[in-house]
Chains A and B, each alone.
Chain A
Amino acid sequence: NAGVTQTPKFRILKIGQSMTLQCTQDMNHNYMYWYRQDPGMGLKLIYYSVGAGITDKGEVPNGYNVSRSTTEDFPLRLELAAPSQTSVYFCASSYPTSGKHTDTQYFGPGTRLTVL
């Protein structure tokens, strides 16, 4: 299993450009997440999905869009890039559990995005 994979690893955008960050998981996880990590800050949830066709906003969704057409893929779209979106973006996935134990999120390697 490759786990969670993300492309590209690095990207530089100009203000106003758009791009899609790709995320794929091969663990058959229902749940998928997008986070951003800024220097000296904790990970912040952007969007999440509990299954194909179902997405919802996280803590910091403004300026982003997502879709989930398959179990495996969860792309993140930036429509009009702004300098405030310079960050490292992580995709994660998990399998829902019930009872005492709670599901664990597994992370991809990240995409480092710079907006100039």
Chain B
Amino acid sequence: EDQVTQSPEALRLQEGESSSLNCSYTVSGLRGLFWYRQDPGKGPEFLFTLYSAGEEKEKERLKATLTKKESFLHITAPKPEDSATYLCAVRPTQGGSEKLVFGKGTKLTVNP
């Protein structure tokens, strides 16, 4: 069974304190791994897609990396506006575009 596990469930950081969020996955084959940001009361907002082990993508203070079993979302010198829930999702090779398996998310709070 395809599974996505995110850790930690919640993370509190001080402004400027860098850290990483983890997304571990179990799929028969990976077509793509997605990171989304979700603010309270809003829909998920797309951040990154990663396709193969070793791939990295960056956007402002965020950098996503991918290995064969997990992905990390590194947050460098975070600011309070980075506070949100970060969702990870994988698209297995088995199944069409509808097959997107989501993790439960990591709730990040950045204190000023």
Contacts and interface: CB of A to CB of B under 8 A. Distances in A.
Interface of A: 4, 31, 33, 40-45, 48, 50, 56, 58, 90, 92, 94, 96, 100-110, 112
28 contacts: A4-B43, A41-B104, A43-B44, A43-B87, A44-B102, A50-B96, A50-B97, A56-B98, A58-B98, A92-B43, A94-B97, A100-B51, A101-B49, A102-B49, A102-B91, A102-B97, A103-B97, A104-B34, A104-B46, A104-B49, A105-B34, A105-B97, A106-B46, A107-B36, A107-B45, A109-B41, A110-B41, A112-B41
Interface residues of B, number: 25
B92 to A, nearest CB: 10
Interface of B: 4, 31-32, 34, 36, 41-46, 49, 51, 87, 89, 91, 96-98, 100-105
Report the 4 A-B pairs with minimum CB-CB distance, sorted nearest first: A42-B102, A107-B43, A102-B32, A48-B98
A58 B21 CA distance: 28
